[in-house]
């Protein structure tokens, strides 16, 4: 990460670790609220970086949330500049073999999940978790932005409608000394519904945040960008194709805690400016220009507290429970 030292990154990761841990702890301490949100169980994932395993009431498998990056970003305020912090987490899903989605994971992921690397909880064993390739079981990422004053928070989910991978030379696995063809050349290996898997976790995380901090979202936006399809020529050699058929979705939920009306208005407008800037950057990007298919709207506002609330009926990207205490 350019511009920051390793020590700075570690400090911010530790700070975000504490804040996320606080949300989970307070959610699980309140049994009635835990049930209302839909969390079932939580445990620490024994990775080198802070991470958790979580189970929710509407999926049979287990989620893993791992903090992987952190940095400081200077932001302007009415009183000058203030440090804002950014952290990125990756979200993984370890499917239960009985789930329909199990067969949508890659062959390697299915073999791993059924093998000795996983324990009775359906999560990787302590000695195996760091051996898994970072791409295995990956379904999306969640970013967190928060001000040093804690007056502004942004929680952002990014995933694709579907994560698709092809094996151009096919795939053979050995069983009892015999090579078996499990994928023909050019066959699809991974066809994972990213949004469908991420949403049950993300909606509950935002609901828990709202409960812990006794606040409702101030802004909700959805951004669309071309998605990528991966073609593996060899195990570590790949080519990419970009398409609007399986778009990347970037859902941003923003919170403003300022009580002063003038400061609140300023912070909301600053947030909108940054969101529009991100959407414009997507439009100007090379991927946008080369992607196949009919482009989708780059930016869509779903909720704006300044406009009286909901401004779109895109219910697939919002949970009305975020506004219920």
The CA-to-CA distance between both ends of the chain, in Å, stands at 39
Q: Is 20 contained in some domain?
A: yes
Q: What is the pLDDT of residue 104?
A: 98
Provide the whole-model pTM: 0.92
Q: Is 214 contained in some domain?
A: yes
Q: Is 234 contained in some domain?
A: no
| Burial of 264 (C-beta count, 10 Å sphere; 0-12/13-18/19+) | middle
What residues make up the domain containing 259? 6-162+190-228+245-323
Q: Which parts of the chain register pLDDT below 50?
A: 1-7
Q: Which residues contact 109 (CB under 8 A, 6 or more apart)?
A: 136, 137, 190
Q: Is 27 contained in some domain?
A: yes
Q: How many domains does the chain have?
A: 1
Q: Is 180 contained in some domain?
A: no
Q: Is 175 contained in some domain?
A: no
Q: What is the pLDDT of residue 5?
A: 39
Q: Is 239 contained in some domain?
A: no
Q: What is the pLDDT of residue 7?
A: 43
Q: What is the pLDDT of residue 82?
A: 74
Q: Is 224 contained in some domain?
A: yes
How many CB atoms within 10 Å of residue 8?
Answer: 14
Q: What is the pLDDT of residue 2?
A: 34
Q: What is the pLDDT of residue 112?
A: 94
């Amino acid at each position: 990460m350019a511009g920051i030292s390793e020590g700075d990154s570690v400090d911010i990761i530790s700070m975000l670790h504490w804040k996320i841990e606080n949300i989970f702890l307070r959610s699980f301490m309140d049994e009635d609220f835990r049930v209302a949100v839909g969390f079932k169980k939580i445990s620490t994932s024994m990775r080198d970086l802070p991470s958790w395993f979580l189970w929710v009431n509407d999926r049979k498998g287990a989620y893993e949330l791992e903090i992987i990056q952190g940095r400081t970003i200077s932001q302007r305020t009415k009183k000058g500049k203030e440090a804002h912090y950014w952290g990125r987490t990756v979200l993984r899903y370890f499917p239960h073999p009985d789930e329909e989605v199990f067969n949508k994971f890659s062959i390697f992921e299915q073999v791993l999940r059924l093998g000795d690397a996983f324990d009775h909880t359906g999560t990787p064993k302590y000695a195996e978790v760091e051996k898994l390739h970072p791409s295995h079981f990956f379904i999306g990422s969640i970013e967190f932005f928060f001000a040093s004053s804690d007056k502004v928070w942004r929680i952002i989910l990014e995933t694709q409608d579907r994560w698709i991978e092809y094996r151009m030379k096919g795939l053979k696995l050995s069983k009892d000394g015999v090579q078996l063809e499990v994928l023909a050349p050019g066959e699809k290996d991974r066809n994972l519904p990213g949004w469908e898997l991420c949403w049950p976790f993300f909606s509950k995380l935002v609901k828990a945040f709202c409960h812990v901090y006794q606040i409702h979202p101030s802004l909700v936006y959805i951004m669309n960008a071309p998605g990528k399809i991966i073609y593996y020529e060899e195990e570590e050699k790949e080519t990419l194709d970009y398409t609007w058929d399986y778009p990347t979705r970037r859902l941003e939920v923003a919170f403003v805690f300022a009580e002063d009306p003038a400061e609140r208005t300023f912070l909301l407008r600053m947030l909108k400016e940054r969101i529009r800037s991100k959407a414009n950057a997507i439009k100007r990007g090379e991927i946008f220009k080369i992607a196949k298919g009919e482009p989708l709207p780059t930016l869509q506002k779903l909720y704006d507290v300044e406009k009286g609330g909901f401004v779109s009926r895109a219910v697939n990207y919002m949970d009305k429970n975020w506004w219920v205490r």
